Chain A
């Protein structure tokens, strides 16, 4: 894939470049600030961009703002946000447009190389990827929720994986379940949470996230 990287710390930028090139990807631009990112995405039209939340000049959430601005101009531009800390609010802003092709991951996840590359592929393919930590926080927020309370332990597990953006087959692999039972679980979850039934993974993930974020 053709990738753009926006990360202000040289150490991490180089690490990401090395990791992606070693695994056969093509880093078309590696920049260190939000304005440079917007230019690079406009010029290069990459398959996916990896963006640090915190970028110069302000070192607050310039990376996220730039990502939102890019997607406002050009919807469905695939962007994976990396953050040293999980901020549920940032994740929510990112998925709010309901377009998919976004991801929000903790920076530390890059060391689980295969999972990270898999997440990158999914974002590039129009999917939604959520860090397990964000999903955990969403669940913690919804402890008093009637719909969630009605779920069995297994269904809750499946829901967590759906929210992270995993496809049916990935959930099968993760929980070592037959495809039929995963589909059954998901059907039950959608019914209990009063969500529209759907076979489209992306739409389903968005519906679940929207539900958890309400």
Chain B
């Protein structure tokens, strides 16, 4: 209560001081830029001025954030490159540049109004509450009778304190509202506008999409290599062995039992290799019986006790299902391989349109969240607009957690 009031009052006070200053800054810089715009000094001057303006606007964002109790994002697009001319042009085209300037001009009247309403009333009330402390030092002759008693006697001054305290809630409301109005106006101008929000979202999507495409391509290359070096090579080798056996039989009539045995073993290995590869692409049980059953199977195959806690998940998009499965599989594999865990829990639940899957192990922790396995998972999850978090302090425990939006 008191803190919010104090914040609000401080905000209004600083606005009163800053308003004229920023107004003068905005006016001067605009004038200077305007005059210089006909000379070759325009771009560097404009860049410098904008850089300063953005620092001031940043300060304004901080002030607004304090009052609003939430962060106020900065709207600027990525740092600029190129020569001063092209950078200047980019700045001119950026709406944020002009919105900053608009606020710096507006802060003057807004600060004045808020200051008069809030600060005056606030300070008068504060003075009234503290009357016994200071009124005796200020002589007030020639006052009307009642006021004279209030001002010039100790008892009266204490009555003033009571009156001030009674008025305090109303004053508190006025001060905080004035400050909040100011901060809201500041945020409205200084935060990313709808156009920038869209542009930013589009940029994010472009980045995640590129990552998805890259991850997909890498995955296909991996599959091709695995087929080429694994199953295909084994099958060819088995064919060679059989060809030799056949030749022996045909030419010399000697037995070829050993060769045929070798060929059979090579073919078995090729099949095992293919099965492993297929499971890595998309586990068949996921297709046949859904996520919960696939996770139970995963837990059953693990070399350590794994508990699966799954609630009713309903219908899930196949991409989400498979991403959730691989988050669990990778988390489990890491727990076995790196964490030396004794037990592991896989929790999967759906809250509305979000599916969350978490793998928790009691191992030694210290997992590298940027490692290739976890990074691949992150891409896969981000591609679906989800998030992946890894908490793994040294000494454990480790939790890998993914939140996946799953609106069908």
- Which residues in A have some Cβ–Cβ distance to B below 8 Å? 9, 11-12, 14-16, 18-19, 22-23, 54, 59, 84, 107-108, 110-114
Contacts and interface: CB of A to CB of B under 8 A. Distances in A.
B243 A113 contact: yes
Interface stretch (B7-15, B144-152, B234-242): B234-242
Contacts of B237: 11-12, 14-15
B243 A11 contact: no
A54 to B, nearest CB: 8
A19 B243 contact: yes
A59 B222 CA distance: 12
B315 interface: no
A14 B266 CA distance: 13
Interface of B: 225, 228-229, 232-234, 236-237, 239-244, 246-247, 266
Nearest to A108: B236
A113 B244 contact: yes
Contact of B236 (A22, A23, A107, A114): A107
Nearest to B242: A111
A28 to B, nearest CB: 20
Given A23-B247, A59-B225, A111 B233 contact: no
The A interface, classified by DSSP as helix, strand, loop or mixed, is: helix
Contacts of B241: 15
B236 A111 contact: yes
B244 A12 contact: no
Contacts of A19: 240, 243-244
Nearest to B246: A113
A178 B311 CA distance: 77
A110 B236 contact: yes
21 contacts: A9-B233, A11-B237, A11-B266, A12-B233, A12-B236, A15-B236, A15-B237, A15-B241, A19-B243, A19-B244, A22-B244, A23-B247, A84-B228, A84-B232, A107-B236, A110-B239, A110-B243, A111-B239, A113-B240, A113-B244, A113-B246
A46 B240 CA distance: 23
Nearest to A113: B243
A9 B229 contact: yes
| Leading 8 A-B pairs by shortest Cβ distance | A111-B239, A113-B243, A15-B240, A15-B237, A11-B237, A9-B233, A111-B243, A11-B233
Contacts of A112: 243
Quick one: which of B228, B232, B240, B241 has the most chain A CB within 10 A?
Answer: B240
Given A59-B225, A111-B240, 19 more contacts: A11-B266, A12-B236, A14-B237, A15-B236, A15-B240, A15-B241, A16-B240, A18-B244, A19-B243, A22-B247, A23-B247, A84-B228, A84-B232, A107-B236, A108-B239, A110-B236, A110-B240, A111-B239, A111-B243
